[in-house]
Structure formats: structure tokens, C-alpha cells
Amino acid sequence: MEDYEYKKVDFNNPSFMFTIEDMLKNMIGVPLFYNPYFKTFGLKGNENVLDFGCGGGSSSRALLKFLSRGGNLTAIDASDFWIKKARKRLEKYTNATFMAGDIRNLYIKDNLFDVISIIHVIHDISPEDRKDTVGAICRKLKQGGRIYIREPIKKSHGMPVDEIRALFNDCELREKDYIISKSEYRGIFAISP
């Protein structure tokens, strides 16, 4: 794990490249990347879903399409800049709630979500805050619910697979499925029976 270098990113002052990446995600990322991925969640449409680290809201927009039967989406991001962007992009959705801040301090009931989606967020949290943050996320999951997580795993940009597994195992979640490519870990965790 010590080979992995944590690079702190200032998400409230995104670089030009990062804003271009966000624009592309919003235009082509939704049909090409998010929709096919969220299809694998098997949502019925009435679930309570958390998009943790939603960024500019492209993933939230895609998730909302799968929640048209009474479902609700909560989108959280630590950055005021990105949550503002997400809220503006998705203002027409009455079943979406946006929250800026640290999940460890936000007022959100425990055992609330059927599904929690985390896409490329935990590696951006400082290593000493990861355990408590993942602990807070896990407490928000309903019994029988699932956490879907994707994280980059390259040493130059990412975090170790063992650390991802340990973080969720520490809060009594078990890995139900996973795929590991050269650059990314993709997994599903659920509360152990």
C-alpha cells in the first residue's frame, strides 16, 4: 500500500481539463458509460439510491432515469462547486436531493438506502479519513441493500484493491461480486447475513 501516492485534488477549484472532462461526461458519458453500468444494478425504479461523490451530476442524471417508479435519489459531494453544478443540471427532477459536505457530519438517517453508488471517489479522500467515511456510508445502507463501487487502482492514480476490500469488510460488508481490470476495481458489497 505504501507505493500508492495520495494526490490531494482541490475540487472547489477544478482545472480547465477537469471541467472539460465533466462536460464530456455529461454529453457522451451518460449514454456510453453510466447507462450501461447502472443497467447492471437491476433497479425496479422505486428504490432509495445514494450517489456518493456525484461530481457534476452526470451519474445522478443517468441514475434518475432508472428511478421513475417512485424512487428517490440523494446526491452528495464534498465540493460546493460540483454540487451546485449538479443541482442546476438536475433542477427539473423533484425526486432528487443534493447535499454538499462530509457524510460524517451530514444529517442523514441510518439504514436509508437500498443502493449506494460510488464512482471514483474513495481514492480522492485522504487515507486517514477513508475508514470513518466508509463507515458512515455503510451505516446509511439498509439491511438487504447493496453498495456498488468503482475505483481506479493504478499506483500512479488510485488505491489498492486490498484497501477497498478492507474498508468495507471493517464495517461488516461482504464482497458479493467484482471485476478487476488493469486500471479499475469494480465491486458489489452487501451486509453479511
Ligand X SMILES: C[S@@+](CC[C@H](N)C(=O)[O-])C[C@H]1O[C@@H](n2cnc3c(N)ncnc32)[C@H](O)[C@@H]1O
Binding site for ligand X (CB under 6 A): 11, 25, 53-55, 58-59, 76-79, 82, 102-103, 119-121, 124-125, 133
Calculate the alpha carbon distances from 62 to 36, 41, 54, 97, 163 in Å: 10, 12, 11, 15, 28
CB of 158 to ligand X, least distance (A): 11
Distance CA 16, CA 89 (A): 19
CB of 177 to ligand X, least distance (A): 20
Residue 36 vs 70, nearer CB to ligand X: 36
Residue 109 vs 193, nearer CB to ligand X: 109
Residue 23 vs 180, nearer CB to ligand X: 23
Residue 11 vs 178, nearer CB to ligand X: 11
CB of 77 to ligand X, least distance (A): 5
Residue 110's Cβ-count burial label (10 Å; 0-12, 13-18, 19+) is: exposed
Residue sitting closest to ligand X (CB) = 55
CB of 59 to ligand X, least distance (A): 5
